[in-house]
Amino acid sequence: MALLPIIETPDPLLRRISKPVEAVDDDLRKLIADMFDTMYAAPGIGLAAIQVGVPKRVLVIDLQEPEEEGGDPVRDPRVFINPEILEASDTFQVYSEGCLSVPDQYAEVERPDRVRARWLDEKGDTHEEELDGLLGICLQHEMDHLEGILFIDHLSRLKRDMVLKKLAKSRKELAKRAA
């Protein structure tokens, strides 16, 4: 397994639309394993292949939620290949989102609170399920990456500019410390 470099905004690759996966094979499964390793190390709860420079419609999610409050996180890795949203609810939920490609920045984003989705898993089996809560939000966030959309694109221009200024400031501070 390998840790892959995570691409950060404003890299233009993040704006590229990902291509459908043609075959679920060992090469794809290796990419998926590397994506999980990269996501856990970051740490994060979701990662799209385009974020590691691979423009394929693949994403991984693991909310790592504890079974009981204050308990240890429980891993429940999920793979979504060629995911599609079949139906979205008319009701919305606001959630504070962050992104490994926009490091250490968070903003409230409004999304449908439930979606019905279909996808393939790492064995090539088809799944269709209604997803809500954090899993539904995370799936929508990661699927945006497949279309070249970042969570900051859902913000007003003023809020997006504020997030990008804070990101630039934190990068300058990191560069100063590294020098």
Q: Which residues are catalytic?
A: 142
Tokens of 173: 């501070």
Identify the sign of the CA torsion 16, 19, 25, 29.
positive
Residue 104 zone, left/alpha/beta (φ > 0; ψ -120 to 50; rest): left
Residues 29, 16: Cα–Cα separation, whole Å: 22
> Going by C-beta distance under 8 Å and a sequence separation of 6 or more, which residues neighbour residue 156?
none
DSSP designation for 66: B
Distances (CA, A) of 171 to 5, 102, 164, 167: 17, 11, 10, 6
Say how many C-beta atoms besides its own lie within 10 A of residue 21's C-beta: 17
Q: What one-letter code names the amino acid at 4?
A: L
